[in-house]
Structure 1
């Protein structure tokens, strides 16, 4: 355990990763502030020192993972002309699905305080599906300009369909469903990019 009064590097990520392990191993009902700090090997009160409570913590975890997905989508601009368009988009979808575990998303939706805090963060501009959609649209337009997808493709509609499907998969999948979500995304991209 970290000594009292000593700063813990990357504390937020350490607590977030610990929460995900608790939920993966023991289920959403097992997520308590004490379970998180024990898993993170931190003092019992450290979570409440940095968050107003478990609801704010859960919301911040979800917002952090959305931001991670948005950063991954923004990195698409560096992939223009590389691999295939479908492979690049598949990577973004897979990264978002990997970064948000179904049980954690469920917690953020079923705990009223966490849901409220998450909505407040999104209204305040925290990156989420809108940022991902804009990044995918910009990427598709760049690929159009490079001639890798038809010039008459509706980049905005393709991005909306992809992000909407990703949202659906995120909200409805169960643990261990990765192969199904990957196959669904591949089929969707084949239709969307067919021109």
Structure 2
């Protein structure tokens, strides 16, 4: 049951920009704010051991602030906070190894060679750059773009870029492994 709840919350978070766009265009600010807070609480209870747990607090905070201040900006700011939170977590693992990507890699390859450790460290740095750029673009859309552009970037383009980075890294990693 816990895996089903995790899957459901992940799908809701992926669809988040579309849900916000629809909710706000239909005057459902408080409903969306409460939904985001509930989603954060559910993720907290189902993911206590996740290294990404701090990002859960951002959902609760963004939902709470939009509810208290009756301001949609806090809901729109959530993707910015997610990118900055991810950036912080990934950066921290560069100072306190293993790097985030090494942690992910060791799930599939527990005996990662030293060349793999170095590779995953570099990839973690690339992800840090991605999260920084993504946060800046998402922040721009919060304040200077119409809702349609905010939804398009945060609900489609950023995911497309993230997917491209994942696939590109996977292909390069396989090439790197064959080379070594």
* TM-score of the aligned structures, taking structure 1 as reference length: 0.31
Q: Which has the higher Rg, Structure 1 or Structure 2?
A: 1
More helix by share: 2
* TM-score of the aligned structures, taking structure 2 as reference length: 0.33
